[in-house]
Amino acid sequence: MTNQTKIWNVSTTINEETIQEAAALLRDQQVVAFPTETVYGLAADATHEAAVQRIFEAKGRPADNPLIVHVGNREQVKQLVTEIPEVAHRLMDEFWPGPLTLILPSNHTASQNVTAGLDTVAVRMPSHPVALQILQAAGLPLAAPSANRSGRPSPTEADHVKQDLDGRIAGIVDGGPTGVGVESTVLDCTSEIPVILRPGGVTKEDLERILPEVMVDPALADQKEQPKSPGMKYTHYAPESPLWLIEGDDDFFQQQLLHIKEENPRTAVIASNELAEKLDHEVITACGSRENLPEIAVQLYRALRQYKKADIDVILCESFEEKGVGAAIMNRLQKAATQKITQY
Ligand code: TXA
Ligand code: MG
């Protein structure tokens, strides 16, 4: 695949020609990247096996990892599933369009490489205007994983997509940086009590306002459990240099940094503003206040992408509280980390 990748910039105004051009490529079974409110997605016609195959090829994604189908309206959901449980209706009313993906029983309209042969299908309606307009113009349900090379941090800017996929896909619609910064929450609605398979933009606390009970896939807490969401078992979100996750208080972080710097002079730090202020170190990315976890989520993937192997030997990263969107932040950091250093 050595195509020319077309890039459109709609970050200040969305023009109709771009939307139509992107939609036409998608109807023509090509793959196109565009912004969603969470991260950039790499889209193709979810009902067309050969189109979906292009996503897997461009990303180098394992075939047993199913994709999320994006819809522009609720009518499209009905075309993909055997039934919509009552609980799913309530969740759509409350959280769509937005960063919540629902696992529903598939009627196999989505191509089998979208669902990886499962009897369920993941659906979500994104709220980003560019994503919604392209979905509506294409008139197709679109399979769209994050638009990164498999294993790399997800893209929150068009430039990240370009770094990973230039020449491998038909086009990139640049809508500027994304809003939420981490992916959607994946919620299994096929069991009696809904189960969070992947924490994301809609928090457990948000869901508990609407649902009497929500469970969390035990595999999220315990590495030994087999995850129900196939994608959760792979190495993910990894920066170029090894990432060491530090769990402890600020004094512990400071001691570890001093110690690790002796052997690794080219050490970088990713931290909250509060910790960054306390550290006597040059190469630091401060990602926002630890009191404002949504801000940390917005900055996280950019921070992970920024350090290159040629310049940095190891990245030390602070651990954040697992409340609200902090659960998603820590889930991604645990997966990205090659090592954990704990005080307790
Ligand atoms: O925010 C998002 O969800 C982004 C944007 C582009 O919409 N998309 C995204 O897609 O994160 P992806 O492919 O990177 O992650 C999809 C996740 C994987 O963990 C996959 O295993 C899970 O959803 N998944 C998809 N279909 C599933 C199914 N039928 N059952 C269980 N898990 C499923
Ligand atoms: Mg992904």
Q: Whose CA is nearest to atom 22 of ligand 1?
A: 229
Does the CB atom of residue 232 touch ligand 1 within 6 A?
yes
CA 45/CA 179 separation, integer angstroms:
25
Helix (H) / strand (E) containing 133: helix 129-138
Does the CB atom of residue 118 touch ligand 1 within 6 A?
yes
Does the CB atom of residue 183 touch ligand 1 within 6 A?
yes
Q: Whose CA is nearest to atom 15 of ligand 1?
A: 145
Does the CB atom of residue 114 touch ligand 1 within 6 A?
no
What confidence tens digit (pLDDT) does each residue in 132-170 have? 999 999 999 999 999 999 999 999 999 999 999 999 999
Q: Is the pLDDT of residue 119 over 60?
A: yes
Q: Is the pLDDT of residue 58 over 80?
A: yes
Which whole number is the average pLDDT over 321-338?
A: 96
Find out whether 298 and 278 touch, Cβ atoms under 8 Å: no
Q: What is the pTM of this model?
A: 0.96
Q: What is the pLDDT of residue 231?
A: 56
- Is the dihedral angle over the CA atoms 148, 151, 154, 159 positive or is it negative? negative
Q: What is the pLDDT of residue 226?
A: 57
What confidence tens digit (pLDDT) does each residue in 259-281 have? 999 999 999 999 999 999 999 99
Instruction: Decide which of 224 and 291 is more confident.
Output: 291
Q: What percent of the chain is modeled with pLDDT above 90?
A: 92
| Distance between Cα 271 and ligand 2 center (Å) | 23
| DSSP-derived secondary structure letter, 153 | P
Does the CB atom of residue 41 touch ligand 1 within 6 A?
yes
Q: Is the pLDDT of residue 180 over 60?
A: yes
Q: Is the pLDDT of residue 225 over 60?
A: no
What confidence tens digit (pLDDT) does each residue in 16-49 have? 999 999 999 999 999 999 999 999 999 999 999 9
Q: Whose CA is nearest to atom 30 of ligand 1?
A: 229
The atom of ligand 1 lying closest to the CA of 228 is: 31
Q: Is the pLDDT of residue 318 over 90?
A: yes
Q: Which residue has the tokens 């290159």?
A: 308
3-state secondary structure 263-307: HCCCEEEEECHHHHHHCCCCCEEECCCCCCHHHHHHHHHHHHHHC
Find out whether 296 and 329 touch, Cβ atoms under 8 Å: yes
Q: What is the pLDDT of residue 221?
A: 82
Q: How confident is the model at residue 80 (pLDDT cuts 50, 70, 90)?
A: very high
Separation in Å, CA 104 to CA 113, 234, 328:
16, 23, 22
Q: Is the pLDDT of residue 224 over 90?
A: no
Does the CB atom of residue 71 touch ligand 1 within 6 A?
no
Summary mean pLDDT of the chain:
95
Q: Whose CA is nearest to atom 13 of ligand 1?
A: 145
Q: How confident is the model at residue 230 (pLDDT cuts 50, 70, 90)?
A: low
Q: How confident is the model at residue 236 (pLDDT cuts 50, 70, 90)?
A: confident
| DSSP-derived secondary structure letter, 166 | T
Which whole number is the average pLDDT over 195-212?
A: 97
Q: Is the pLDDT of residue 223 over 70?
A: no
Q: Is the pLDDT of residue 93 over 90?
A: yes
Q: What percent of the chain is modeled with pLDDT above 70?
A: 95
The bound ligand whose nearest atom lies closest to the alpha carbon of 104 is: 1
| Distance between Cα 204 and ligand 2 center (Å) | 20
| Distance between Cα 24 and ligand 1 center (Å) | 25
Q: What is the pLDDT of residue 325?
A: 98
